[in-house]
Structures are given as structure tokens and as C-alpha cells.
Amino acid sequence: MSAWIDIAALEDIPARGARVVKTSLGCVAVFRTAADEVFALSNACPHKAGPLSEGIVHGKSVTCPLHNWVISLETGEAQGADEGRVDTYPARVEAGRILLDRSFLNARSAA
């Protein structure tokens, strides 16, 4: 079952940018692309836990601010020669509001 939690307005995140949602088990980065899609990923880079929310967003990827790994926002996979993956969570936009699936909280508490 999915239950969507209303997080914030789409405009609260700049286009090609991100903000974090804090949970008791760490931060989730919520990204907004130039085309106004949103993606939610764990905020810790698979390399050395760099805060992905602070990276440069291009297309549907983000470049980690610490050592430039490029992470896919869709799959959480590191691109190119780098190997690693971060968790991704369902997210969507409806009527200008960003919604996250509650299951991500449950998944995180189970982890």
C-alpha cells in the first residue's frame, strides 16, 4: 500500500537543485530537475558519504560535491567507471506539491 506524504511546494526547491528531508535515520535528498521532475534519494554518496543534495544537477543526474562522482537520480547508480548505489524512494509532484511515499520511512527504520 502506498500512502503519500505532502512534503512541500515544488517551488521550495530551485530547478536543477535539491533540499533535504530529515528523518530520524538520516537525510533524504529531494531533487528537482530542469524539467520539474522530482526524485528522492538517500543523501549519502556511495563513495564517502558526500551530501548529494549539494551537488550540481544536470539532466537526471547529480555530481557529488566532494569528489565528482555522477549519480543517476532515477536508479541511484554511480555512472561511468565508478561503482556504487544509493537508495531511491518514490516521489512525485501533484498540483504543485511534492509527495513522498510513506514506505520510505518504514524502509529506513527497518534498515
Looking at 7, 64, 99, 100, which residue binds ligand FES (CB under 6 A)?
Answer: 64
Angle at the Cα of 22 (from 16 to 28), degrees rounded to 5? Answer: 45
Q: Alpha-carbon distance 57 to 4, whole Å?
A: 25
Report 42-71 residues binding other proteins (CB under 8 A): 48-51, 54-61, 63, 65-66, 68, 70
For residue 90, give the C-alpha cell.
518514490
Q: Alpha-carbon distance 100 to 8, whole Å?
A: 10
Which residues of this chain interact with other proteins, rule CB under 8 A? Answer: 5, 7-8, 12-17, 19-24, 27, 30, 33-35, 37, 48-51, 54-61, 63, 65-66, 68, 70, 72-75, 79, 98, 102, 105-106, 109
